[in-house]
Every structure is written in C-alpha cells, then in structure tokens.
Amino acid sequence: MDWISFYDFKHSVIYVNGRHRDVHYRTIATDIRALVPSPDAVVMDYGCGEATSAALVAEACQHLTLVEAAPNVRAALRERYAANPKMSVMNPEEAAATPDHSVDMIVLHSVAQYLTAEELAAMMATFRRLLKPTGTFVLGDIVPPQMASVWAALSLLKFGAQNGFFWAAVGGLIRILVSDYFTLKKTHGLSHYTEADMLARLKAAGFAPQRAAHNIGHNQHRMTFLSKPV
C-alpha cells in the first residue's frame, strides 16, 4: 500500500466521523476562497481529497479544477460536482496537460508531506509552467520537523472541542496507532521542512515566496507559503 491507495478508501482514522470530515473541508475551502485573487480567476486545487465544500471556492472564481490521483475519490468528486458548470475534475496527467500559463492560482494543500523532495520539486516545475506570470502558487500545510505528531494530535483535539467531536477525536487518535496510516508512516515516512528550507526550495523552483500569516486549515503549527513565478 502507498499513500494514494490509503486515501482512496474510507478510514475512520482519516476523519473520526462525518462531522469531522465536513468541518475539515469547510475550513479548508473557506481559507482557500479567501486567497482567490478575483472573480475571474482560474483556480486549480491539486490533491484536493474529498473536497466536500469545494463549491464555496468555485463561487468565488471563474473556474475551479479539482485534481485528485486516487481513482475512487476522483470518481466521487465527478459525481458530486457533475452539475456545477464552474467545476471540473482531473487526474494528475490531465492537469499536467493544461495549457501553459493559463491558471491564476494553484493550491497544493496537505500533500507535500507525502512526497519526496524530488517529487515535490518536479511538481513545482509543472505548476510554474501552468501558472500565469501574475499567478500564485499556494503551498499549504507544510509540516515542520519539531514535534509534528504532538502538535497534530493537540490541534485535532482542539478542533474537535470547537466543533462538537472531541471524544470522537480522542477515539480516532487511539485507532491511528494500530492503523495502516501508522504502518505507512513508519515504512514510507513523511517529509518535514523548516520555514527556511521551504523558502529555499521555492526560490530554487523559480518562485518568489513568502510565508503566509495563517496556515490553511485548523493546524496553525504547520505552514502555508504564497509564491509568485519569477
């Protein structure tokens, strides 16, 4: 099993219950919507997951493309948003074939930790090609190396307390210890970056980056970066 296969199926360790899933995606969509540069913007959310609130982002832009590698998740996205003319769903190969310099904003949120440094660099090169010269690359949920698991657990518990699923979150943290997620984490690992390291990688990929004041989503111990092509 790899990370794509893992996320292609429903697990109680990803979202502890339906409320967690819905609030999680609504929070992400609200944060992404706030970054849309204009109502005429063409936006791509790469590695979007279930994206149950993505219509909120589509309302704020001209067109939203959801890109997802996991086939079952992608099929569910196509079914969910089939009637929305402002939205389309692609696999990564289709997204890479998008015309050069045609996208105003590309979001890669909570994906980089599952990629090797080389895979992330290749993805950045693709995004730089797809973005308009005035476009923005939004790189969200970058995991720092210090106490990442501890902060993730505490952030989930706080998020659960704020949104009515605290005890379900406690149970979810227990289940993760015996789950495929924990096994994958030990065998495949997760990529961690300091702020300085990620700024350097973005500059090397041809971007002018800065760290955003607020990370997309509920975990404010992680980082979001906003970058312009140079």
pLDDT single digits (tens) 65-100: 999 999 999 999 999 999 999 999 999 999 999 999
Examine residue 171 and state whether it is found in any structural domain, yes or no: no
Residue 49 clears pLDDT 90, i.e. is over it: yes
Examine residue 178 and state whether it is found in any structural domain, yes or no: no
Whole-Å CA distances, 165 to 15, 59, 159, 182, 219: 10, 28, 8, 22, 16
Do residues 60 and 31 touch, judged by C-beta distance below 8 A? Answer: no
CATH number, domain with residue 64: 3.40.50.150
DSSP state of 114: G
Examine residue 105 and state whether it is found in any structural domain, yes or no: yes
| Residue-level pLDDT at 173 | 76
* C-alpha gyration radius of the chain: 17
| Residue-level pLDDT at 174 | 76
Examine residue 52 and state whether it is found in any structural domain, yes or no: yes
Examine residue 165 and state whether it is found in any structural domain, yes or no: no
Task: State the Cα–Cα distance between residues 184 and 55, nearest whole angstrom.
Answer: 32
Do residues 13 and 176 touch, judged by C-beta distance below 8 A? Answer: yes
**3 state DSSP class of 28:** helix
Instruction: Find how far residue 102's CA is from the centre of its chain.
Output: 21
Residue with tokens 């919507």: 33
**3 state DSSP class of 100:** coil
Tell which wins on pLDDT, 146 or 68.
68
Examine residue 7 and state whether it is found in any structural domain, yes or no: no
Tell me the pLDDT of the chain averaged across its residues: 92
By percentage, how much of the chain surpasses pLDDT 70?
A: 93
Domain count, the chain: 1
Task: State the Cα–Cα distance between residues 210 and 198, nearest whole angstrom.
Answer: 10
Do residues 114 and 143 touch, judged by C-beta distance below 8 A? Answer: no
Examine residue 173 and state whether it is found in any structural domain, yes or no: no
Examine residue 50 and state whether it is found in any structural domain, yes or no: yes
Task: State the Cα–Cα distance between residues 20 and 151, nearest whole angstrom.
Answer: 18
| 46: containing domain | 18-144+190-229
Residue 178 clears pLDDT 70, i.e. is over it: no
Mean pLDDT of 23-31: 96
Confidence of residue 18 (pLDDT cuts 50, 70, 90): confident
Do residues 82 and 51 touch, judged by C-beta distance below 8 A? Answer: no
**3 state DSSP class of 174:** helix
pTM summary value: 0.88
| Residue-level pLDDT at 156 | 85
